[in-house]
Structure formats: structure tokens, C-alpha cells
Structure 1
Amino acid sequence: MMMLRFRFSAGIFMLAVAAGAASAQPVIHAINRDTLPRSGRLAITGSGFGSRSDASRVEVDGTTAWFTTWTSTRIVAYVPETSDLGPADVKVIVNGQESNPVSFTVTARQGDGHVKWTFEADTDNLWFRPALAPDGTLYLHSSQGFVYALAPDGALKWTQKVNWYPYAPPAAGPDGTVYVGSIWSTFALSAQGEILWQFDDPEAQAVQIVPTPGPDGHLYGVFDPGNPGLGAYSLTRSGQYRWNNWGNPLMFEYGGLGADMRFGPSRSDGPVDQMYVGMDRRGNNQLYAFSLDGQQRWVIPVGPNGAGAQPVIGGDGTVYTPDFIAQGYGWVIRGFDPSDGSDVLFYDGGFVSGVSHLSIGPDDVLYYVADLAYLEALDPETGTLRWSHFTDAVMDAPQVSPDGRVVIASGVPTFGYPGFIKAFDAASGAELWSVPLPGEFYPAPRWLGTHMPRITPDSRTAYVSTVALSGGDADPYSLLYAMDIAGEGGVDCAAIRKLSARCTGGRLTAKVKSALEEGATLTLTRNGGDERTVTINARGKGKAKWTGLSGAQEVRVVECPERVTSANCS
């Protein structure tokens, strides 16, 4: 076995890079739009741009811009987040020679209903969901091999190039370090975009799970062993080898789809000290449990890897995953004791065409898509369905919010159409809202959601990656959606059209105007407490009153915390 390790510091990929040997003056012929938001994708076509060089850059009103694509005739850059709002000029500078300026208008990012913001990645697909750092920074690894760092408000912080497109979802550490992987290489990038180290396994088939911070601070990942390569392995945070285990039976993967690492306790309610790895072994699917010092504790036949490689872990450590049993059952959902892999749940739901990845709520209820179109919630304690909702669409894997209120999933009405992002009430399965993705019917360009959503720990925002089926579009891009899900789950916050408050003689009256159904209820708080229940009438209105007040008053809708207003009772 041969293993290579590198540690180096590569400068952050800014647009101080472009055509080295070009002698002709650069000329901009056109840009993609005449109005772009801060951190918006700025596609420039022209001539004389040359190739990447430290002597070349793009400037917007004198500020150097981040870039991803640079050829002699086309550049894709991003409007600097610090740009002033209003008219601006873009120039390409090659070996000290400036192009003609082209004017456009810089705007602020705009939301639209449940969409907080979108980000256009310079790629035709974002295969996986983003990683999320504790400070809210998002990391995307695109099919062009670029890693993007975005602030929670959608501002582009930096881009950095690694070797190729992602083989697995990125992972973020507690200090903001992001870990990505492609082919047989993995990379650690600092929170500032510097490549800290690269760890290779050239005898492996491919990266299966990127190095992921474990509960003890070390990193844990998986290579498809290949010749064999490493298999399951552990590194220090500085990228130094600790151990590896090929698995028994030997791990290997046929057409891996990539997975997130899963950790859990080795005994019910114990400390987190175990990691799980799924491999399809060309149909002989296996789920492995390893201790954090590299010992294989158990292995059980379960799969296929598309879902079995990424189990979910219950509050008591129980391991849940879909399984396909060829003889007699077909698709089932199973639960395993973390200490020895013995069965604790076997649910045969009469599935016909499959079960998606599972998502698990804070009460251990399992959410999944069955037979492409049924969104279901399974109570593993009783082994019975809480509900089953026919969506009349083709759905992707769902994700439940950490507080258990809402389920977010993407899908498509049927094959050939643009997709959508939907929210469902986790308690009942009722659809709360749907946001259509752009595009038109095949073969026109259209966008579909891909992989599972990433939801913030406070359950207020869901991030959904997309893939662009471009139909030969000369300017392809994919979208990351930031969805506002605060207060979802029984109340459609977008239906609250106005919240107002007025105080006269110490009497505070708050009024709601909405498109909510008659009989819907909302909870209003005054200055963070003193709740009132408002019942919506047939005209979509409701009100609450408080008396004997003085000073400033803030009124907020508990179910939709961003709906807030104020009045003064002086």
C-alpha cells in the first residue's frame, strides 16, 4: 500500500489570476445581466483574456472579484460583496492592460416568500448538500472542483479550487475547517479558504466519506479500498494517519454515491464511540460498525448502499436504515442494537419500488419517501405509521427539522419537468407550501433539487442544492436555495400579510391580517411574554389586547418569529 501526504499553503483563489502570455488588449463583448446582486454570478464574454495568470484579474469599480472560470473568451466572476449599490463598471485586466468598462447595476439580494436568497454556483450541478459550520458558514463543493464559502445571508466569502468534482458531501469542523474529497484525494481548507493539507490514497477506488470530525476531535473517513486502499480510516486534525481497517469481509463499492459519516454510542445511552460504514460489495451489501480506535465491532448484511451507507441514529443509539431483502420481503426498514447489530425493528410497509434515505426527528420518528411518491412517518417504538401522505409527485429524500416541526423535501411533478421544494407538517404530513424551481419542460433547461436538505440547528433555515439539466445551455449554473422555515409546521407564515399594533391610553391592540383559514390560531407575545391566543375569523383577521401598559411594546407571532411589530404606550 502506498500513501501520500502533503501539507502546503496555497493562496486563496482570487481573481488575481488570468491570462499570462496574452499580448492583445482584453475586450469585453457582453456580460450575462445588466442587474446583479452582491455576490451575484457575473459571466463575461469577450476576447484577449488569455489563460490564468497572477498578472490578471477582474475588477468591479476597482475591487478585485473572486472567480471560477477563466478562458481566453469567457470568465465567470462574482460581484464583490463590498460593492456599492447602484451603477458599477466591470473591467478585465490582463498583464496590466485594461479592457473596456461595461456598466451594470448592483443590487441587494432579494428574498421571495419562503426563499430567503439563492446563490448561483458556476457549475451545472451541486451533487450534494452543503456543509454547515458552527458560525453558520456554508461550504459547497461543485462539479468543477471549486469549493465555495457562503455567509448565512448568502454573501460569498471565498472560493478555492481542489482537484475535481465531489465524490462525497463536504464536512465542516468546529473551527470552520472544511473537508472535501474527490477521486482518491481529500483536502482540509481553513475557514479563510487556505488549503491546509491534502491526504491521498492512490490505491483506493474512490473517496466514499470525507474526513469528518468525530466526538474525540480526530477525523474519520472512508475510501473504497480498491487494490486495497485504506478502507475506513482515521487522521489527526493536521492530516496525519492514525489507523485504517479494510473491514471483514473486505469492503468495496460499486458505483458509490457518497455519504455523510454517522457516529453513535456502542451501547444504549452510552457515550458516542462508534462509526458506521456501508458498502454494497456488488450486491452483497454490508453495514460495518467500527470503534474509534479502528476495531470492527460487528457487520451485518444490509443495503443497498444508496441508503444503507447512511443510517440514522436514534436518541438511545439505535441504528436505523432501509434494507432490501431479495427473498420474501423486498424493501423494509430495520433498526439495530448498537452493541451487536441485532434486530430491534423490522418494518415491512409493503413497499414496491423502494425507500429513500431516512431522516430522524428529536422524538426518533423516522421520515422517508416510499415508492417515489409517499411521504411517510414511522414510529419505531410501536412499529406503526404515524401518517402517510401521497404527494402525487416524484420525491427526493426528506429532512425533518431538528425541532421536529417541519419536513423539507425536493421533487419533480413527473419526469421531464422542473422541480420544486416543499414543506410538510411533521405532525400530520399536510403540505404547508411549495416553491417551484425555474425552467421549462424537457429539453429546455430546468432545475431539480438534489440530495437531502441541510437544516440549521435552530430549525429556521433549510438549504437545498440543485442540479441544472441545461439542454446545452452555453452559460450553465446551479442554484443553492436558502429557505425560510421559521415557524413552519401547522402555520403558513407567508399567509400572514400584516401584523400591526397600536397603543392608546395604556391599551395595546395587535391586529393580524392574513390568508389563513377561518379558525386557525396564532399565539402573540408582548415583550417576549404575556401571551394571547388569536383566532382567525372568516375574513382572515384576528386581534389581541393588553391593558395597563406603558413604554415600548413589541408584539411577535410565536409560530412565525420573524413576524414582529412594535408600538409605544408612553
Structure 2
Amino acid sequence: MSVFKKEWRRWGALGVLAAVFLLMPLACGRDKEPPVVTITAPADGGTVSGYVSITVEATDDDSVASVSFIIDDSLAGTLYQPPWEYEWNTLELEEGSTHTIKATALDPSDNEGESDPVTVTVMQPSKPPNTPGAPEGPPAGFVGDALTFRATTTDPDGDSISYQFDWGDETKSDWTDYVTSGEEMEVQKAFDSEGTYTVKVRAKDTYEVTSALSPGLTVVISPVSSTGSIQVNSVPTGAEIWLDGTNTGKTTNALLDKIAPGERTLSLRKEGYADYQATVTVVAEQTAEVNATLERIGEVIWQYETGGEIYSSPAIGSDGTVYVGSSDSKLYAFTPQGDWYWEYGTGLAVKSSPAVGSDGKIYFGSDDTYLHILHPEGVRYREYKTEGYISSSPALGSDGTIYVGCGDDNLWALTSEGKFKWKYITGGDVASSPAIGEDGTIYVGSDDSCLYAINPDRTLKWSYKTGAKVQSSPAIGSDGTVYFGSQDGYVYALDPADGNPKWSHKTGGKVNSSPAIGEDGTIYIGSDDDSLYALNPNDGNVKWSYGTAGFVRSAPAVGADGTIYFGSVDGYIYALRADGTLKWRYETGDAVSSSPAIGADGTIYCGSMDHSLYALSSDSPGLASSPWPKFCHDSQNTGRAGP
């Protein structure tokens, strides 16, 4: 054997041994240190209520793979990425009960760390705010840009509400100042890095009781590069500029910069003008230009002054003829162009709104106690004397039966020929206008505080007692739900089968207004607290409210474009967008309690206490095709659900 081979064997063996010894510390030094886990909220010994965010701080010399939340020795949930926050619903737990919270964390080597336990006591000083919907805000933006996000919800106890946004980047906003239940809150956020973020929000009341976290809004943040611009001009200037459904905070004429390339939706809004909308293609490093001429709306097309105040709500015949009653004891007919067609005199004020039958006959009541039936030419066909004044508006059944409320406490049913069929006595005057369901059930309110459901054969189906007079006329939803208001300040939703309440919403004043229903099911109704409300049909929560300077007793009418039209005792006729913002308003000479009608061409017809009937321009393409878009259901005021 050569010397070289001998040396190799000797040092080669030693080398292998050396390598083994060198690697042994690495193997023996495998990570055995567990994560350090601390519960930072809630505090040990504290009280909890509503939806509680259990917040954990977990650190490890390598990394934290997961955090588990243990409540009363039971696993509540496990998270696999920060933030380490678990939402705990305490609402179903017994008042005064004590609970122990622990958290454990694992690192990649399966070392487990455990927190010290935290003991809390459940105390519910109030009901939590309703869970907010997903925040509203831009779906995209750029790094460093201040983006505006909005949230709103209501509190079942009417408490004021504060909001906190979770930005989805492991940071949160501070709790906002408290605002009134249902009032919208805006918060700005600038993201520091590009990425896709899920923005959520929660609410708390003045008792610190917290709601659940809302659904998320996805926001894509891009780096500031390769952007384009839009120069936005309008005649007249001063229009709000909205981009992709978000108010930019700028008005025309203005330059919008730092806009991501692609197709963007641009909208312009200015009070008294039709909304302008366009699709703009944004190209990197280029400026697109938009030049808009805005269309004036909400102006008088024609006006006719009668001899008395107008409480009556107009009806529109199939040929466009407009019918309306006046306190000067007359019913008037006008052509769509505003030409006087005819007038018919009764013995006393006509506050009842006319209804137009399929054959063109006009049905209406008067304070003279008569139900009047006229030919389309304004000639008397029949009249029927009841036992009290009639301010209720007739509803027309599919079989021709006429239903009308009366100041003699009765709901009257007459044949299409104006002959007595039956009457149903309630415990008070019936100023409410009846509504007829698709199954023929007649719903009507009474001053005895009840809403009645009466079968076509006069038998009582059910009745529901509120806390005060019911002069509101019901609206009927697509599923048959009956919506109406009461002078006790509530808006009610009742099950049509048995009259059991689905929900009720308390406003700040008497509810004499009648509801209308939008195409998405939203319930619109006014209140003597000077506001118009938009309510969620499922739970009665406020989507938004709009304040005027007087009682809102006019029933809203919803246009095919979603615009809501109504009057106020402050003397204005209002047009609001579906999001509750003002589109236009027109000032009449006195209070407006009449409910608007919408012509096929979008003309808005509405009466005023200044004795005049107004025809105003709008950009709505007719009446909405919703289950109950206006007072008495349709342009003919039939008060009957269905097509």
C-alpha cells in the first residue's frame, strides 16, 4: 500500500468523523422554543358584551404558524395568518356568567406556546348596533392616495353609533365620533403598499356594545405609475364629479389625475339638472376629455290654479288625462299639455284621490258623503250616498267592486254600478285608502288604531292593533307583505296570512304618509319628524333618511330610474336619487300633502295647498315597475296589487 493511500485512509476517516461532529450541533439545535403568546384584549377581570374581538400577540424566533382560541376549555377557532383576532359572540350567553379565555400558538416546528388565562364576565347593558353592510368606497386606488370609505347602520335602542374600520392590512382606524343612528360616517385611508385588501367595519353604541364585523369590500391598490387623466368640463359648471360610483370631491371644471388605465364610469351631479353619465377610456400618460351639457329638470311645464287647497293625489288615465280633486268642491280633468278639459262640482271639498277604471270611468269621494262615478267626459254616471265624509281614495277590485273608507267608521263595498254590496264597521273613521292584495284581500286602516284585513265576502281575516290612528294607506310587497304607517310613529310590516308583525321601525313623529316600494324592494315612507325614510324590506333597518323642513305626509312615487318624488309641508316637491341624495326640489307656494304621480313621459304631477296642480319636468322614464311604486299602486290609483 502506498504512503498516499495510507494518509488518505487516516485523514479521510478523521474527516468523516469531523463532519459528523460538526453536524451534530445542528441536529441537536433544532428549534425547541415555543412561541410567546399574550391575550391583549379583553382585559383579565373585565366585562364583555355584544361581539368581542379577542386579540392575541404571538411572537416566535422563527415564525408563528397558527393561533388557536380556547373559551371555557373548548376550541373556538384557529387562525393561520395575522392579525390574530377572533370575533366572539356573547349575545347568547347568560347575563353575569364568567368565562375563561386562553390562546395557544404553534411555530413551524410544532412547538406550542400558551397564554395566561383571561377571565371575563358577560354583561349586556344594551343591544348591539345592527351589523353594518359592507363599507362603501372605491374598488381601486393607488399607493398613498387618500381614499374615502363610508359606513352606516342603525341601533335597535336608538343609541348613537361609533364606527371602526378594519383596513385588511393589519391596521384599523380609530373609533369615530358618535353619530345618530342611521347617519352615515366617512373615514379616509391611504394604503402604504400595493395589493388587494378587504375593508370591513364594525359599530358600537354609547354603552361600548359592539356589533359583528361587516361583510368586506375588496379594494385593489396599484403602484403609482402608468396612470392617465380625465379633464371634466360641463355647462353649467359646478357639478359634482363621481368616478366609478364614488364622489371625487371635485366639481366641474376639473382635472382628475392618477387614474388607472381602462374603462371608467364618470357621473356628474348638480342640483336641478339631470345626472350625466359616460364611459371614459383612460390611457396611460394621456388625458381624456369629457364635455357635458347638463339638462335642466324640476321646472314647471304647466301649472293650473284651482279654487282651493289640493290634498288629492292625481290619477292619470290611459290617454294621459290628469284628474285631481280640490277643496273648492270640484274634480278637475286636464290634458297632458295642461289644458283644462272639464271640472265636476260636488257639494263639499274633494280630498279623496280619484281612481280610473279600465273602462275610463272615474271614481272619487267627497266630504259631501257621496261616492261619485263619472264618465271620462266628466258627466255623472252614478253617485252613492254614504253616512259620512269620504277623504279615503277608492280601490277598484279585479271584479269591478269599489272599496272606499268613510268617516262613518265603515269600509264600504259597492258594485261597479255604484250599488250597495256590503259595509264593514270599524271602531273609528276610515280615512285610510284601501289596498287590495292579489288574492282579493282588502287592507285598510282605521282611526281605532287597527289595520284590518277583510275578505271580499266581508268576513274579517285578521286585524292588527297599533298605538294610534292608522290613516296611512298600505302598500303590498311582492311576497304579499303589508307595509303601512301609524300615528304612533311606527312603520309596520305584517305577514299577510295572519297579520303577525315581521318588523316595525320607530320614526321620530306620526306616520301619516303611505309607503311606496322601489324595484329592489326598498320601502320609502315619510314621517312627521320631517324626514323621508328608505327602509330595508327584510328587517326595517334604515338605509338612509332625508330631512326636510316640514312634515312629510305626501306618499312617495318611484320613477323607473329609481328617483323618489315626494312633497313636504315645507312647500317643496323633492326628487331624490336612490342613494338618498338630492337631485332637485321645486318650491310651491304652500304645504304639499298631495302625493305625486308620474306620467309615461316622466312628467311629475303634484298638488299643493297653494291651490295649484303642478306639472314638472324630470328625467325619469315613467313609473317604476315595482310591486307598489306609488300611492294607490299605479297611475290610475286602482289600489290593487298585480299587473
Alignment TM class, shorter chain as reference:
0.5 to 0.7
Going from structure 1 to structure 2, the CA distance change for 1:290 and 1:198 (only over 3 Å counts) comes to same
Alpha-carbon shift at residue 430 of structure 1 (Å)? 0.5
CA separation in 1, counterparts of 2:416 and 2:315?
A: 17
Q: Please tell me the residue identity of whatever aligns with 1:217.
A: G
RMSD of Structure 2 on Structure 1 (CA): 2.7
Give the Cα separation in 1 of the matches to 2:531 and 2:406: 34
Find the counterpart in structure 2 of residue 86 from structure 1.
none
Partners of 1:412 and 1:293 in 2: CA distance: 39
Counterpart in the other structure of 2:595: 452
Distance 1:321 1:113, change over 3 A: closer
Q: 1:112 to 1:196 in 2, by over 3 A?
A: farther
Q: In the alignment, what sits opposite 2:398?
A: 215
Deviations along 1:162-217, one digit per CA (max 9) or x if unpaired, are: 2221142222212221112223211101001110111112xx23225354321222
CA distance in 2, matches of 1:245, 1:355: 22
Distance verdict in 2 for CA 1:317–1:402, change over 3 Å:
farther
Distance 1:303 1:359, change over 3 A: farther
* Aligned counterparts of 1:190 and 1:130: Cα–Cα separation in 2: 17
1:115 alignment partner AA: E
Following superposition, the deviation at residue 462 of structure 1 comes to: 1.9
Structure 2 partner of 1:397: 554
Distance 1:487 1:394 in 2: 25
Match of 1:358 among 515, 519, 528: 515
1:485 is matched with 618
Query: How much identity, in percent, do the aligned residues show?
Result: 26
Alignment pair present for 1:286 and 2:450: yes
Segments of structure 1 that go 5 or more residues without pairing to the other structure are 1-110, 265-270, 326-330, 414-418, 438-445, 469-477, 490-570
Matched, 1:302 2:466: yes
Partner of 1:121: 305
In structure 1, what is the Cα distance between the partners aligned to 2:510 and 2:423? Answer: 36
Residue 7 of structure 1 corresponds to none
**1:242 matched residue in structure 2:** 421
Which runs of structure 1 show a deviation greater than 6 angstroms over 4 or more consecutive aligned residues? none
Aligned to 2:121: none
Aligned to 1:551: none
Supply the distance in 2 between the matched residues of 1:455 and 1:338 (Cα, whole angstroms). Answer: 28
Change in CA separation of 1:208 and 1:420 when aligned onto 2, cut-off 3 Å: closer
Where 2:593 maps in the other structure, the secondary structure is strand
CA distance in 2, matches of 1:435, 1:408: 11
1:200 is matched by which residue type in structure 2? Answer: K
1:354–1:371 contact (8 Å) kept in structure 2: yes
Residue pair 1:375, 1:429 contacting (<8 A) in 2 also: no
Of the candidates 263, 270, 274, which is equivalent to residue 436 of structure 2? 263
Query: CA separation in 2, counterparts of 1:404 and 1:303?
Result: 36
Mapped to 1, the partners of 2:577 and 2:412 lie a distance apart of 39
- Structure having the higher strand fraction is 1
* CA distances 1:212-233 after superposition (whole Å, capped 9, x unpaired): 321222222223336xxxx222
CA distance in 2, matches of 1:423, 1:305: 29
Match of 1:197 in 2: 382
Equivalent runs, 1:430-445 vs 2, <5 Å: 430-437=581-588
Larger radius of gyration: 2
Counterpart check, 1:410 vs 2:567: yes
- 1:355 offset after TM fit, Å? 6.8
Q: Secondary structure at the match of 2:358?
A: coil
CA distance in 1, matches of 2:344, 2:528: 39
1:420 alignment counterpart: 572
Query: Displacement, 1:262?
Result: 0.9
Does residue 1:387 correspond to 2:549, yes or no? no
1:462-512, CA deviations, whole angstroms, 9 ceiling, x for partnerless residues? 2110112xxxxxxxxx211112222489xxxxxxxxxxxxxxxxxxxxxxx
Distance in 2, matches of 1:156 and 1:167, equals 20
CA distance in 1, matches of 2:339, 2:476: 33
The answer on whether the counterparts of 2:308 and 2:327 sit within 8 Å (CA) in structure 1 is yes
Of residues 407, 427, 431, the one that matches 1:251 is 427
Corresponding position of 2:491: 333
Q: CA deviation at 1:234?
A: 1.8
Give the letter aligned to residue 120 of structure 1: Y
Change (3 A) 1:460 1:294: same
| Aligned counterpart, 2:535 | 378
**3-state secondary structure, aligned to 1:159:** strand
Alignment of 1:10-29 (within 5 A): none
Q: In the aligned structure 2, how far is the partner of 1:375 from the partner of 1:122?
A: 28
Give the whole-Å Cα distance in 2 for the aligned partners of 1:286 and 1:355. 14
Instruction: Provide, for residues 218-254 of structure 1, a one-character-per-residue CA deviation record: whole Å limited to 9, x for no partner.
Output: 222223336xxxx2222221112222222xxx4322x
Q: 1:178, 1:190 within 8 Å by CA — same for their partners in 2?
A: yes
| Structure 1 residues 222 and 384: CA distance shift in structure 2, 3 A | closer
Matched, 1:318 2:481: yes
- How many residue pairs align between the two structures? 327
Counterparts of 1:303 and 1:192 in 2: how far apart (Å)?
Answer: 44
Q: CA deviation at 1:352?
A: 5.2
Distance 1:188 1:303, change over 3 A: farther
Check whether the contact 2:432–2:444 (CA below 8 A) recurs between aligned residues.
no
Match of 1:464 in 2: 606
- Report if the CA contact (8 A) 2:533-2:546 is conserved: yes
Deviation (angstroms), 1:155 = 1.8
- Go from structure 1 to structure 2 and tell me whether the alpha carbon gap of 1:300 and 1:141 turns closer, same or farther (over 3 Å shift): same
